[in-house]
Chains A and B, each alone.
Chain A
Amino acid sequence: MARDKEYNRREFINRGARFTLGLSLAGVGVAAAVNAGSEKYLWQIDPFKCTQCGRCATDCVLSPSAVKCVHAYDICGYCDLCGGYFKPGVTDLDTGAEKQLCPAAAIERKFIEEPYFEYIIDEELCIGCAKCVKGCSAFGNGSLHLQIRHDICVNCNECSIARVCPSDAISRVPASEPYMIKGDFTANESGEAGA
């Protein structure tokens, strides 16, 4: 009899605790659900905040990095002397490897018509170091810029590059608009620069 009583008491406590835990779980769920959406989020670089520090190449969990240089052809000047392709101070404009800025030789230079050249990024080779981006932004139109390639990115819960990005250029973006390609995406859309 005494044993039954003890078991009854224990069962009663258990049931009460279970109810309380269930209730608090529901509470947390509802409170979080207020801030929930069905949209999925991906990481992306705001090209107007990016300062081309070079950490995208070194701090991604993948090697080589899921960050690649992309070319927004719409705003490219097709320059012969491309600040993103040539090292500063180069005078003979040919495709000699020692004259190229890109350490991975990932930029292809193609003659279109006098005096215009097209520059194509080979994403297989690109390591996302942003050296060309820096050159292009300093001397050209800034048509070369970094983007996270979602076919490579494993979409970590917290992007390890975002954590070390000095200019907070990497943020979560809705999966319906996963890229910020310059041209389509302007500084006005970019939170701070357009403020």
Chain B
Amino acid sequence: MIRKNYRLGFLVLMVFAFLALNAQQRFPKPEFESGYEQPNTTTPEPRTAGMEVFDVIVLFGVMALATWLILKKRSRRGVLWLSVFTLLYFGFYRNGCICPIGSIQNVTLALFDPGYKISITVLLFFLLPLVFALFYGRTFCAAACPLGAIQDLVVIRPISVSSWVRKTLSFIPHIYIGLAILFAATGTDFIICRYDPFVGIFRTDGPYLMIGLGIAFLVLGMFFARPYCRVFCPYSVLLGFMSHFSKKHITITPSECINCKLCANSCPFDAIEAPIDEKVRTESTVRKNLRNYVIFGLLVPVWIFAGGFAVSKAHVFLSKAHPDVYLSELLIAQPELREDTENLDIQAFLESGKSMDQLVEEASVIRSKFRTGGWYLGGYLGLVLGIMLMNQFVLRKRKDYIPHKRDCFSCGRCMDYCPVGEQSGDRKSGIVKAKQ
């Protein structure tokens, strides 16, 4: 049956091809006698031909400069002006595309779809910020990301959010990157780019929803600093992993912390961790924590399995995002829609000469990919949840105020507020007036 339909489809295809070829000869081109000169069909050059290599160089330069400003020069002002440049260049001039955040999907597609050739510049856009984060923390976020820059510039009255809210919200980026990879790997959609809130502002053009979302994020960002970066950005997951184990990271004070708490108040992102009182860290708490840590550690496989099971169960729902799956479901559920001349998708499918069996087979292949992907996605989310729960019971010795290496954007505000001056030699001579 399938074979027969396939043959029929092929025949229809051939007929269409024949018609398409012959359509051109319906009216032969006239031979003009009046010396008419036929104009050429223009093919304008791409807007930004050959700028991609330059972009990679600029990205590298900006990140190197940002790293130097943060780690060596310790200049918040420098970082600020650099982020203004980033906003103007990568944002408004280059229209925010391509960005390292979106490049996650290109890399995923390149790994899963052999037919997709990723451009080497896109691959570098993906890798460079991560390599920098692995060595020097999230200096990309500080000054080289246009989305971060636009949000950083509108921080007016940041409010402090309690840690359990922040920790709960920090789960969202994991879901986002997981879904983005699942959708990119199955060739369904690039959701990161689709829901990029600021690209409409960078282009000063776009659907109302996109522009509205961007403005909403900016208004929210006046009070809850960098909302996209902290609650949604899927790339922040990867940058966070890298930065957590970074070799060098921004330090608040150039010499010794005097526990004045000024830095913690200056950080709009609540990314500075207070010292832990030795009194809290009694032997019994430590023992209790250790016990809980081990118990929750043993629970991790349960979370992984439960997550994988739950998300793979949702594969039917998730796979509907793929147009082929959606179309085949629609046609099975409502075959009468074949007569609906208004439905462009169905009409185009009927015209294409592809048989229903072919469509259903393709759809079921995609759906089974979603089932497998669902196990991985759910398992990953379970693992993240498990580790987050375990980390609740980590009570490290901490005597100074230090930035949380994973959450810190290395923006450098805290350095500006630290009253301790650059001090070589005698430490005891104490507080040097803050440079202002």
Contacts and interface: CB of A to CB of B under 8 A. Distances in A.
A101 interface: no
Interface of B: 13, 16-17, 20-21, 23-30, 32-34, 36, 38-49, 52, 95, 97-98, 102-103, 105-107, 110-111, 114, 116-121, 123, 126-127, 130-131, 134, 189-190, 193-194, 200, 203, 205-207, 210, 241-242, 244-247, 323, 344-345, 347-349, 351-352, 397
B417 to A, nearest CB: 27
Contacts of B348: 51, 53, 166-167
21 contacts: A18-B134, A28-B107, A51-B351, A54-B344, A61-B210, A62-B206, A72-B41, A74-B38, A113-B32, A113-B34, A140-B27, A141-B26, A153-B47, A157-B103, A167-B348, A175-B49, A178-B46, A181-B43, A183-B41, A186-B21, A195-B17
A32 B246 contact: no
Interface of A: 3, 6, 14, 17-18, 21-22, 25, 28-29, 31-33, 35-42, 48, 51, 53-55, 61-63, 70-79, 112-113, 116, 118, 120, 137, 140-143, 149-158, 160, 163-164, 166-167, 172, 175, 178-179, 181-183, 186-187, 192-195
Given A35-B114, A142-B23, A25 B127 contact: yes
Given A62-B205, A120-B39, A187 B134 contact: no
B32 A116 contact: yes
A151 B33 contact: no
B119 A77 contact: no
Nearest to B46: A150
Given A73-B41, A158-B193, A37 B119 contact: yes
A12 to B, nearest CB: 12
A160 B190 CA distance: 10
Contact of B397 (A6, A28, A150, A182): A6
A33 to B, nearest CB: 6
A140 B24 CA distance: 8
B114 A167 contact: no
A51 B131 CA distance: 45
A191 B127 CA distance: 33
Contacts of A158: 105, 189-190, 193-194
A129 to B, nearest CB: 13
Contact of B349 (A156, A166, A179): A166
Given A17-B245, A140-B26, A140-B27, 19 more contacts: A18-B246, A21-B134, A25-B130, A35-B110, A36-B110, A40-B121, A51-B344, A62-B203, A113-B36, A149-B44, A151-B44, A154-B47, A154-B97, A155-B48, A157-B98, A157-B193, A166-B345, A181-B43, A182-B24
Which 5 A/B pairs are nearest by Cβ-Cβ distance? A77-B27, A166-B348, A158-B190, A151-B44, A150-B46
Given A63-B205, A194-B17, A167 B352 contact: yes
B104 to A, nearest CB: 10
B44 A32 contact: no
A38 B29 contact: no
Contacts of B189: 158, 163
Contacts of B121: 40
B377 to A, nearest CB: 18
Contacts, number: 198
Given A77-B29, A151-B46, A194-B17, A25 B23 contact: no
Contacts of B194: 158, 160, 163
Contacts of A37: 117-120
A78 B34 CA distance: 14
A119 to B, nearest CB: 11
A74 B123 CA distance: 40
A70 to B, nearest CB: 6
A106 to B, nearest CB: 15
A29 B16 CA distance: 43
Contacts of A155: 46-48, 97
Contacts of B352: 167, 192
Contacts of A70: 41-42
Given A28-B107, A35-B110, A36-B120, A113 B33 contact: yes
Contacts of B134: 18, 21-22, 25
Nearest to B108: A32
B120 A112 contact: no
A146 B342 CA distance: 21
A52 to B, nearest CB: 10
B41 A78 contact: no
B397 A3 contact: yes
Contacts of A192: 13, 352
Nearest to A139: B26
A71 B193 CA distance: 32
Q: Which of A32, A55, A73 has the most CB atoms of chain B within a 10 A radius of its CB?
A: A32
Nearest to A72: B41
Contacts of B16: 193
A36 B344 contact: no
A156 B30 contact: no
A82 to B, nearest CB: 10
A62 B210 CA distance: 12
Nearest to A75: B24
Contacts of A143: 24
A111 B258 CA distance: 86
Contact of B21 (A39, A175, A187): A187
A189 to B, nearest CB: 12
